[in-house]
Amino acid sequence: MERAMTEIQKAVSKVLTNHYWLPTLDINTCYSRRHDDTDGDFGGNIFVTFSKDGDAWIRVDTSGVLRFRTGDGGGQSLKTRAALLILAEAIRQDNIEHPQRRA
């Protein structure tokens, strides 16, 4: 298990430190996903778009929090949850390397 975690950490580091484009994504296409705890309400979406200059645009359509559950917790968006895990690690590393002033 420890070796597997080391391999995952290496892969995440590689993803976060290399600049690349995924050929399966289209410029100016809005990719969206509804969170897992909708309770019949179709609100609570996350939207991601990349502009032609490569900038990422994120919008969250909700008045509350979005929850992306694990598979054991009934999650329907396991890949989205995994990507958010990597996003959190990227934010953690950016905060260490380039701290921002707090308001």
pTM: 0.74
pLDDT digits (tens, 9 = 90+) for 13-22: 998 888 888 8
Please give the residue that has the higher pLDDT: either 44 or 31. 31
Segment 44-71 shows an average pLDDT of 86
What is the DSSP track for the chain?
Answer: -HHHHHHHHHHHHHHHHS----TTS-TTPPEEEE-S--TT----EEEEEE-TT--EEEEEE-SS------GGGT-S-HHHHHHHHHHHHHHHHHHHHS-----
Q: Where are the domains of the chain?
A: 21-97
**pLDDT of 83 higher than 90:** yes
**pLDDT of 101 higher than 70:** yes
pLDDT, residue 11, reads: 93
